A and B are shown apart, each in its own frame.
Chain A
Amino acid sequence: MSHTDIWLTIVFLALGTWLLRFSFLGLIGARRLPDWVMRHLRYVPVAVMPGLIAPLVVWPQATGGHLDPARLMAAATALFIGAYFKSVIGSILGGMATLYLALYLVG
């Protein structure tokens, strides 16, 4: 990881993110998108983020890419609390607490 890479990432990610946020509000105005486009857009968060997380959970870097029971349990706890109680903070705290407890018990 070079500092040039960090700065290039910051600049382009910042510009692109602002353009995404400005897109409709700034340029398209009040025209409506076709229903089929909206229907696909609704699933963007659940289509992108789980796929991003899955390899990190199943093959964690910290264990050299080996399946780790403590991390798996922590992920399951975070998923359950988040899905069931709809609480972002509860999910983060519950997941990290499970991770620490499991690492302490399993070693």
Chain B
Amino acid sequence: MSITGKTYWRGFRDGAPFILVIAPFGLLFGVVATEAGFNLLETMSMTVLVIAGAAQFAAVQMLVDNAPVVVIVLTGLAINLRMAMYSASLTPHLGKAPLWQRALIAYTLVDQAYGVSIAKYEAEPDMPLPRKIAYYFGVITPIVPLWYGSTMLGALAGSAIPDEYALDFAIPITFLALVAPALRSLPHVAAAVVSVLVALLLNGLPYNLGLLVAAVLAMMTGAKLEKWQGERT
């Protein structure tokens, strides 16, 4: 096997453990969307076209609340803003790939694909471009099809799940699970606390404006504290 082929399979093996995260999450999305009133085509279209779990859960929740579409889309994009950071961070490594490959990389740029790939690129920055690309596509090979498949299973099982399972609360729990590991420093915790307090205080504002204000204030809190910490040390 060529060295590039070996690198692809290395990526595949490094991406494989995330099956444990992706499968239950996809399953849950299928169930929640179906419970909310999505038909199979709608659930699958969202999962295949958006492939961003957290934003999908938020969108479903807000559709159930009858929020205006503009607000739903903006909120979903606010949640996905981190992906622009991923894109920025991968550019020095993959920026010279052919356009169609960059377009495909962008489409599949989920949290796990980014996390695994950037760790590899930072460990081996001198890896030639074709191998970096092969590695990336290796990582997403076990992840992306499984996301589609598990959502489909969840959607098919969804309507068979009774209310007693309190799946209404699966969404907040899943968000908590995604964000809690990111609370790794004082500025991160402070930003999260500001976000919670402002969002609760401004909950009455229309169009989810409270959340937008909370997010901006929380980002400023995190950035300020980080700068202040850096200046002290």
Using CB atoms and an 8 Å cutoff, list the residues of chain A in contact with chain B: 1, 3, 5-14, 16-18, 20-26, 28-30, 33, 36, 38-62, 71, 74-75, 78-83, 86-89, 91-92, 95-96, 99-100, 103
Contact = CB atoms under 8 A, between A and B. Distances in A.
A16 B1 CA distance: 39
23 contacts: A5-B72, A6-B63, A10-B49, A13-B77, A17-B83, A18-B107, A20-B84, A21-B106, A22-B87, A25-B102, A42-B85, A43-B191, A44-B78, A44-B81, A45-B179, A51-B198, A62-B166, A78-B173, A81-B177, A83-B183, A87-B181, A91-B180, A99-B166
A31 B77 CA distance: 23
Interface of B: 20-21, 24-25, 28, 36-39, 42, 45-46, 49-52, 54-56, 58-59, 61, 63-64, 66, 69, 72-73, 75-88, 90-92, 94-95, 99, 102-103, 105-107, 109, 165-166, 168-183, 187-189, 191-196, 198-200, 203, 210-211, 214-216, 218-223, 226-227
A76 to B, nearest CB: 9
A53 B172 contact: yes
Nearest to B203: A55
A52 B42 CA distance: 23
A86 to B, nearest CB: 4
A68 to B, nearest CB: 9
Contacts of B191: 43, 46-47
Contact of A49 (B25, B59, B66, B175): B175
B177 A91 contact: yes
Nearest to B175: A53
Contacts of A49: 54, 79, 175, 178-179, 195
A30 B58 contact: no
A21 B80 CA distance: 9
Contact of A62 (B72, B75, B99, B168): B168
A17 B199 contact: no
Contacts of A54: 195-196, 199-200
Contacts of A23: 84, 87-88
B215 A22 contact: no
A47 B24 contact: no
Contact of B85 (A36, A41, A92): A41
Contact of A17 (B50, B181, B196): B50
A26 B183 CA distance: 30
B38 A47 contact: no
A32 B72 CA distance: 31
Given A53-B176, A89-B21, A21 B203 contact: no
